[in-house]
Amino acid sequence: MQDHEVINILQNQLHFSSKTIPNIRIFVEELLKANKKHNFISKSTENNIWERHILDSAQLVKFIDFSKGSLSDLGSGAGFPGLILALFNTNKDFHVKLYEKSPVKRAFLEDVCNKLSIKVQIRGNIYEDIIDSDYIVTRAFKKLEAIIQVSREIAKKSHKLIVLKGRNAQEDLKKAFNKEKYDYKLENSITNEESKIIIVNFKK
């Protein structure tokens, strides 16, 4: 998929504003620059960054109500998906937290957020913090069992867990839900027909 095709989807299907696209362009430039030194994303995906990383993250806006609440991104890395969701968000009362253990990646996130004037909180290790968001999202954090454990044991209130997963989503669900069953649904990814989005409602 060409970059302009992705931008078309962002604006016409996912309703990203025309003001947001230049900010995403700046973010992409900064990331590619930083990637020369730090390898934040796989080099093989650099030429396809708009589809593989931007659109893959952006599609989650379909499952989030930005009119109220808050969001935590676990293992945000270079900003996926949390930073893209923060760029989409226009509600100053909807708070976004990016959790990233690596100091190098946190420094990059802080730098980019300052450049783009994005209001987010950048935090460290999730196991040393209180997670009390209405949405928990994650893209390349840990195995599904570990993510479920965070939702079950660390998150302080009822929330919607949204996980971007590859082709093994169904197998991962079987392993993760081996002992306890949860109310979940699987959505198709718009960037890869084999990938899935797992959505689980956790009641506290």
| Cβ neighbours of 180 (radius 10 Å) | 8
Of residues 134, 132, 188, 131, the one with CA closest to residue 164: 188
Residue 160 lies in a domain: yes
Determine the structural domain holding residue 70 and report its residue range: 60-202
| Element holding 71 (H helix, E strand) | strand 70-74
Residue 197 lies in a domain: yes
**pLDDT (tens digit per residue) in 1-41:** 999 999 999 999 999 999 999 999 999 999 999 999 998 99
Can you tell me the distance from the alpha carbon of 78 to that of 96, in angstroms, rounded to the nearest whole number? 15
Can you tell me the distance from the alpha carbon of 101 to that of 125, in angstroms, rounded to the nearest whole number? 5
Residue 83 lies in a domain: yes
Cα 159 to chain center, whole Å? 15
Residue 36 lies in a domain: no
**pLDDT (tens digit per residue) in 70-121:** 999 999 999 999 999 999 999 999 999 999 999 999 999 999 999 999 999 9
Residue 29 lies in a domain: no
Of residues 129, 175, 180, the one with CA closest to residue 154: 129
For the chain, what is the domain count? Answer: 1
Residue 85 lies in a domain: yes
Inter-residue contact 75 to 98 (CB < 8 Å): no
Please state the pTM of the whole predicted model: 0.94
Residue 173 lies in a domain: yes
- According to DSSP, the residues that pair with 138 across neighbouring strands are 74, 163
Residue 33 lies in a domain: no
Q: What's 128's domain CATH number?
A: 3.40.50.150
